[in-house]
Amino acid sequence: MAYGENRVAVLGLGGTIATVPSADGTAVPALSPTELVSVVPGLAELGVTLETAEVRRLPSPSLGFADIEAVLAAARERIADGCVGVVVTQGTDSIEEVAYALDLRYDRPEPIVVTGAMRFPTEAGADGPANLLAAVSVAASPHARELGVLVTLADEIHAARYVRKTHPTSLTTFQSPDAGPLGYLVEGEPRLLGRIPARMVLPAARRATPPRVCLLQISLDDDGYLLDRIDKHVDGVVVAAFGGGNVPAALVPRLTELAETIPIVLSSRVGAGTVLATTYSYPGSAQDLLKQGLINAGFLHPLKARILLRGLLCVDADHDDIAAAFTAAGGCGNTAAWPWPQTATDALEH
């Protein structure tokens, strides 16, 4: 390990960025972060001293919350040891969830920047090296401090809470439909144009057994078959409802009953925009469901809402704290509603 003024740690989790397809047709993550950084043109000229560590070597659909805690611990260690930022390389399939889960648990000012690649390193026009170069530049930038966890691909810088994978193959798959990117890489330099409204960080988990939170997407003529089956087997549910948060009227009694025992969060399956709290009043409308005790996810995409609800249940948050946290994180009102300290580093127990 070398020491310099601007030390950045690159922590590997696997994914396409590290995958080399072979002649026999196999394609599994195979490259270590050390191998990844060794072939990036321009990286040596950045004036950044790199440290690398492989935390996992997995395709990202197989990552779990234990892996996220492991990479978070490794990132904290590197930051405590003097790194100005951390880059996490991983598969793009689950970046939108992993980055938000990290963001909810990371309270330091130094950036954690998550990146990956849409093309294998051996393919023509491989995007991994450019994404890695950009991510290291962002991680080393003083302008990226206090923004929590960022996602950098295709020369765009996104906030973890907004970013989504929107296409299975496009190089510009990562987008923030509601907020847009926070910034761009211009001539190799990170340019930040936007900020996040506030840091929203959860304390360390208190529960010994992790909660089970499921995501239930409502679809046409849904007769509640899945809803009936998840009943009593989960600690919380995120409902991805039609449009601005509406479900078939027939589901209301079951959702109402379930909301009396576990938190049910109402989100929109549309992929952008917010739950509408007052527009319609028919049975099954968002207004009706919110009156029955469902919690408004606001602008939070169902995948992000599930990450937040699980995190809240990990700290044994009660109904009022869960509702307040979603008000703040979902952009439904004052960000000060967040029940824990928002900016003070070290205010939360680790």
Residues assigned a catalytic role:
16
What angle separates helix 302-314 from helix 95-103, to the nearest 10 degrees?
40
Site for ligand ASP in 35-64 (CB under 6 A): 59-60
Q: Does 93 bind ligand ASP (CB under 6 A)?
A: yes
Q: Are 153 and 131 in contact (CB under 8 A)?
A: yes
Amino acid at 232: K
Q: Which is nearer to ligand ASP, 92 or 285 (CB)?
A: 92
Residue nearest to ligand ASP (CB): 91
Q: With CB under 6 A as the contact rule, which of the stretches 38-46, 68-76, 88-96, 198-206 interacts with ligand ASP?
A: 88-96
Pick from 291, 256, 296: nearest CA to 276: 296
Site for ligand ASP in 117-176 (CB under 6 A): 118
Q: Which is nearer to ligand ASP, 118 or 265 (CB)?
A: 118
Q: Which of 91, 190, 236, 244 binds ligand ASP (CB under 6 A)?
A: 91
Site for ligand ASP in 14-33 (CB under 6 A): 15-16
Total chain residues near ligand ASP (CB under 6 A): 9
Contact residues for 257 (Cβ-Cβ < 8 A; gap 6+)? none
Across 193-309, the runs of DSSP E, i.e. the strands, are: 213-217, 236-241, 264-268, 295-296
Give the shortest CB-116-to-ligand ASP separation in angstroms. Answer: 5
Using DSSP's 3-state secondary structure scheme, residue 206 falls into coil
Give the shortest CB-98-to-ligand ASP separation in angstroms. Answer: 10
Give the shortest CB-58-to-ligand ASP separation in angstroms. Answer: 7
Site for ligand ASP in 186-245 (CB under 6 A): none
Q: Which is nearer to ligand ASP, 21 or 293 (CB)?
A: 21
Q: Which of 12, 111, 116, 244 binds ligand ASP (CB under 6 A)?
A: 116
Give the shortest CB-5-to-ligand ASP separation in angstroms. Answer: 32
**Residue 216, phi then psi, degrees to nearest 5:** -115, 110
User: How far lies 277's CA from each of 2, 176, 340, in Å?
Assistant: 54, 23, 25
Give the shortest CB-145-to-ligand ASP separation in angstroms. Answer: 27
What angle separates helix 302-314 from helix 319-329, to the nearest 10 degrees?
140
Q: Where are the alpha helices (DSSP H) in the chain?
A: 33-37, 65-80, 95-103, 128-139, 225-230, 252-259, 286-291, 302-314, 319-329
Q: Which residues contact ligand ASP (rule: CB under 6 A)?
A: 15-16, 59-60, 91-93, 116, 118
